[in-house]
Each structure stands twice: as C-alpha cells, then as structure tokens.
Chain A
Amino acid sequence: MSGKLRVPISVSRIGIAVIAATTAIAGLALCGIAFGRSPGELLAILAGGSIGSSFALQGTLLKSVPLLLTGLSVAVAFRAGVWNIGGEGQFLVGALGAFLGARYGVIASLMAAVVAGAIWASIATAMRLWRNAPEVLTTILLNFIAIHLLGYAVNGPLQEVGGKYPQSDAVPARASLPLLGNLELHAGVVIAVLVAVAAWYLLYQTAEGLRLRATGFNRSAAKWAGVNVDGQLIRAMAISGAMAGLAGGIELLGVTHRLFERFAAGYGYAGIAVALLAQLHPLGTIASALFFGALTTGAGELQRTAGISSMVATLAQAIVILAMIAFMRRSKTSS
C-alpha cells in the first residue's frame, strides 16, 4: 500500500452516473406533462427550490447529511455482499438511542445513536448466522418493528410532557449539534463528510477493507484465501448499522430536536439509491447525496408551489436505481 492517496474514479463511471441522474430528472420533467405543467416549469421549480437561493442551498445541504450517511451504510454493506435493506429501522433506533442519551451531552448522544444502529443491524446478522434467515427480509421486517417501536415511544413513555401531540419533548439545548458560524447548518455536515472519508480509507486503504470487499466480491474465494467470512459479515453489518444510526442521531440533534411518528421519512431506503448512483464508492457518495438532497428539497418546493406530491423524490430514486443497474450490466457485458 503506497503512501499516496489514489482515488479510483474513471471518467466512464462518472459518465454513467450523470446519465442515470439526468434520466431521473428527465423522467420527472415528463411527469409534469401528465399534470398539465410544462417540463421547463417543473425543472425551474425543482432548481429554484434546491439550489436557487442561499436558503435553498442550505436546505439541500441539510437533507444531504442523512442521505450521505445512509448511502455510506448501504455502500459498506453491499460491498461486503450483505443485503442491508434495514437503513430505515437503523436510522430510527439511532434517533431513539440519541434521544435517550441526550441528557449526557451531544457526544454521548451520538455514540448512543451509533451503538443503537449497530445493535439493530446485528439482530439481522445473528439471525443469519444462527438460523440462516435471509437478511434481506429480516432487515426489512426490523424496519417495520422500529417504526412501531417509535410510534409506541412517542405515544407512550417518551411523549411530550404536555401530552398533546404524538411527539417527544425537545432534546436539551446542550445536546443539540452546534451551528456552523452564522449559518443554519449544523456540525453534522462536517461529521458526515468525515465519515465518508473514513469509510473510503477503511475500504480502500486497509487490509480489513480488502477482506471486506473480497468477501462481497466472491465469498467462497475469500474463504479459501483465509478470510474469516462470518466475522467479516458481522463487522460489515455492524458498521453499516452504525452509520445509519448516526444519521438518525444527527437528524434528531441537528434538525428536528424531537422524535415523532414519521421521523425517518424514507432516508433509509433512499440510501440505496444514493449508494448505487455512487457505484458503492464512499467518496462518490458525497456527490450522490448532494444530488438526492437537492432533489428532496426541490420536491418539497414542488409540493408547496405546484401541488405535486413530494413523493416524486421517491420516484426519482427508483428511476436512478433502475438506470444504474441497467447501465452497470451494459458495461459489464461490453468489457
């Protein structure tokens, strides 16, 4: 391993991602026709609402933070060949953990989020290793359980003292993430980028990362080469869950300050689109998260001004995933 930092990015891989992202935007613009709006008008609202002003840009950056972390979570898991579709649930228990740890300050709170996410993901690993239950299904089922656990928490033990709405009280001020300068941005932006760099370092600059990727690339070959495959899966899943949990903790301490029923809002599932657009590369995930962050804020603006459901963002995520897997197959067969 040389001391130089090498980032394996090729132009064609970026080209594929750009085409996929453009396809999704074009798809949305065409949807506009069905609603009796011109594609240009929709694009203008999307762009204006996401990058058109400093306020919009800050909103985009804020949305990109959880997307970056859930995207990294998916990238690490998929690189190791484990299907962690449980980002949504890990995000939620991470937020729950952060809420419970909030009275001990912001550092303890974020650590609680990390641990909670890792534990939630590890339930699925344990079921895989002991009972051979497929993690695709167990992680998804754990999402639903986490959603109802949160529903129970904010309607029961963690409900606000006033007891008026199904939400928790706000976390204490000293557990809130500090703001950056005089912006609306919280320190979670910095944390998320650092985690992305750390994930890149882990995957591409350490022996652990090589073993992890080898396990995902060809499990039996890795086993024959002497890799402890089970141990690799346990760690990959725990790291993946920890990242999604951290995303939930940061969202609580930086943005919402309260827990409520629809807290996750699809960030976990969106992570799959974020990771695939970045072709599972941690640094590419930064760009990919910014794209989807812009899309999410832009979609919010579409709902406010044009009355078109913000679910268009979910639609775009699906188009990106489908475009990416179609292109990646194309490039595989042509090489």
Chain B
Amino acid sequence: MTSQLLAAIPLAIVASTPLLLAVLGELVVERAGMINLGIEGMMLTAAMTAVVAAQWTHSITIGFLAGIAGAAAIGALFGLFAIRFAVDQIVTGTAVVLLAQGLTGVVYRQLQQSAIFLQPVPRFNTDVVVPLAWIVIPIALAFLLWRTRFGLRLRACGELPAAVTAVGASVAMHRWIALAIESVLTGIAGAYLALALSSGFAENMTSGRGFIALSIVIFGRWKFKGALLGTAVFGIAAAAQYALQASGRGIPFHLLLAMPYVVTLLILCGIAGRVRAPESLGR
C-alpha cells in the first residue's frame, strides 16, 4: 500500500496541476475582493475552446491560447456583472457556470457533426506546465502581490476599497486586472486538463474543480504558501484514491469518486473557523 501510494504521488502532482492553476487565479481575484464561482465555467469553456482550436490547427500552442481566450470571454462576462454592474457575485458566478455548461454543451454537440472532429487531438509532449504551475507562477504572483505597489493596491481592493479610491487609483481597474490574471491561469488549466490529462473534451469535464479551488483558497488562508500546501494535501488524497483503486481492496469505485469532495469538505471544516477573509470580499 505504501509503495503504491508513493508511486501514485508524481501522477497526483500532474493531475492536480489544473486545480493548482485555478487556486492561484482565484487567490488573486479574492485578494482583489471578488468571489468568482464562475471559475468553474471559465475552466470548462477553456477546455472546449482549447480542444477545438487544437484540432483545427494541429497546434498545441494555439490550443492553449484559445483556452485562455475562452476563459477570458467568460471571465469578462463575470467582470461585467460583478465589477461594472456591482451585482451579487454569488448569483452572477452561478449564472456564469450555467451559461458555460449550456454553451459548451450546445456548441460541442454542433461541432461534433462537422469535419473538424474527424481530426485527431494533437498529443501534448513536453510538459512545461507542471513546473510553471508549482514553482514559477506562485513565486511570480507572490512577488507581484506582496512586493510591488500594484500588488499592495490590489490587496487593498479586497480589504478597504475606499483607500484605493482615496489615493486616486481605480478599484475597478485593479479588479479587472485580477480577473485577467485569473483568466490566463484558468485558461491554461482548462487547456491542460483537456489536452494533456484527457484526450479531448467531455461535457462538464471540469467536474467541480473550480469549486474545490475556491475551498482550497480558504484552506490556504488566502496565501500562496497555503495554496500550494492545500493543493498538495488534496493531491496526496487523490494519490491515495488511485492507490486504493489499484490495490483492489473492494472499496466501491463510485464511493472513491466521491472522495475528493469529501476531502474538500473536511478541509473546509478543519480550518475555516479560524481564518480571516479579506475584509471586503464579495462586496
């Protein structure tokens, strides 16, 4: 069992890479004072646009770019309502997820009847995404948020937006930039999920990763170290799931499938009581 678990860890790190990218993106957005449930929809849309573009052009790079564009389109819709109209972010986020599910479902079914889908999905070979997600991006974002004036202002948007306005800066602009960062990260996450971890798109293939990401942001106390730790804990739980599956101990498959969500619930309950969220989160 132990050796099986150890063998499963590299797999778990790779498999939780899209989740980590989503966690990092959501962390930036929540630090700027927004809760974006729509991240689930952004990732799902990115997965589809990435697959379609990659099949069309036979290029992995264009696939990833299309993924970012897809996530950004859904992210912009969220921003329009959450920033521009300043309406309730939770309702907006839920609507955005439904929109993405509906849109990808309809478009994908339509495209399946076209010639593009006879093309094979290009294979993803050299994996730069994993080291980027686990090392480079967290360091870069932590530097941006805690070592630059821009980062200070972005975090102030999440704590006391009036202070940002008082120094003559725009809360809306900082929040839009935070959303743009999240769009890039979730775009890569969706593309990686569809092109590297799966071989194509399937309806609702993100299966709640966005919501799990939101939970890990809370577990990690809105810090990058916590985000990495939280995703790692989650990844190890996933590795345990694979190991259990492989060991054939007779735990029913469908109960194992529920495990990530149970682990996330436990993570939320284990820590949430003792943390302080950004003061103006969700307002």
Nearest CB in chain B to that of A270: its residue: B98
Nearest CB in chain A to that of B108: its residue: A309
- B229 on the A face (CB < 8 A): no
Nearest CB in chain A to that of B35: its residue: A136
- A222 on the B face (CB < 8 A): no
Q: In the assembled complex, which residues on chain B have CB atoms less than 8 Å from the CB atom of A173?
A: none
A272 to B214 alpha-carbon distance, docked (Å):
20
- B168 on the A face (CB < 8 A): no
Chain B min CB distance to A23 (Å): 13
A132-B273 in contact (CB<8A): yes
State the main secondary structure of chain B at its contact with A: helix
B90-A136 in contact (CB<8A): yes
A141-B113 in contact (CB<8A): no
A326 to B91 alpha-carbon distance, docked (Å):
11
Nearest CB in chain A to that of B109: its residue: A309
Q: In the assembled complex, which residues on chain A have CB atoms less than 8 Å from the CB atom of B264?
A: 141
- B234 on the A face (CB < 8 A): no
B269-A133 in contact (CB<8A): yes
A136 to B89 alpha-carbon distance, docked (Å):
12
B105-A322 in contact (CB<8A): no
Chain B min CB distance to A40 (Å): 19
Give A160-175 interface residues, CB cut-off 8 Å to B.
Answer: none
Chain B min CB distance to A120 (Å): 12
A322-B272 in contact (CB<8A): no
Chain B min CB distance to A124 (Å): 9
Total A-B pairs, Cβ < 8 A: 144
A322-B106 in contact (CB<8A): no
Contact of B208 among A136, A141, A149, A314 (CB under 8 A): A141
B255-A272 in contact (CB<8A): no
Nearest CB in chain B to that of A31: its residue: B106
Nearest CB in chain A to that of B274: its residue: A132
Give A272-325 interface residues, CB cut-off 8 Å to B.
Answer: 272-273, 276, 307-309, 311-319, 321-322, 325
Q: Which of A53-61, A106-114, A150-158, A226-234 contacts B (4 or more CB under 8 A)?
A: A150-158
Nearest CB in chain B to that of A155: its residue: B254
A326-B87 in contact (CB<8A): yes
A318-B95 in contact (CB<8A): yes
Q: In the assembled complex, which residues on chain A have CB atoms less than 8 Å from the CB atom of B270?
A: 131
B96-A318 in contact (CB<8A): yes
Contact of A318 among B102, B203, B252, B254 (CB under 8 A): B102
Contact of A329 among B87, B207, B211, B255 (CB under 8 A): B87
Chain B min CB distance to A323 (Å): 9
Chain B min CB distance to A206 (Å): 27
Residue total for B at the interface (Cβ-Cβ under 8 A):
48
A142 to B253 alpha-carbon distance, docked (Å):
18
A311-B214 in contact (CB<8A): no
Q: In the assembled complex, which residues on chain A have CB atoms less than 8 Å from the CB atom of B139?
A: none
- B17 on the A face (CB < 8 A): no
Give B179-227 interface residues, CB cut-off 8 Å to A.
Answer: 203, 207-208, 211-212, 214-215, 218
Q: In the assembled complex, which residues on chain A have CB atoms less than 8 Å from the CB atom of B92?
A: 322, 325
Chain B min CB distance to A77 (Å): 12
B103-A315 in contact (CB<8A): yes
Q: In the assembled complex, which residues on chain B have CB atoms less than 8 Å from the CB atom of A31?
A: 106
Give B74-113 interface residues, CB cut-off 8 Å to A.
Answer: 77, 81, 85-88, 90-92, 94-96, 98-99, 101-103, 105-106, 108-110, 113
Q: List A residues at the B interface (Cβ < 8 Å).
A: 31, 34-35, 83, 85, 127, 130-134, 136-138, 140-142, 144-145, 148-149, 151-152, 155-156, 269, 272-273, 276, 307-309, 311-319, 321-322, 325-326, 328-329
**22 chain-A/chain-B pairs, Cβ below 8 angstroms:** A34-B110, A83-B90, A131-B273, A141-B215, A141-B265, A144-B207, A145-B262, A148-B255, A148-B258, A149-B258, A156-B252, A307-B109, A309-B105, A311-B109, A314-B102, A319-B99, A322-B77, A325-B85, A325-B87, A325-B88, A326-B81, A326-B85
Enumerate the 8 nearest inter-chain pairs by beta-carbon distance, A residue then B residue, closest first: A311-B105, A315-B102, A318-B99, A314-B102, A148-B258, A152-B254, A321-B95, A309-B109
A-B contact sample (16 more), CB < 8 A, given A134-B218, A325-B88 = A130-B269, A133-B268, A136-B90, A145-B261, A149-B255, A269-B98, A311-B106, A317-B98, A317-B102, A318-B95, A322-B81, A322-B92, A322-B99, A325-B87, A325-B92, A328-B87
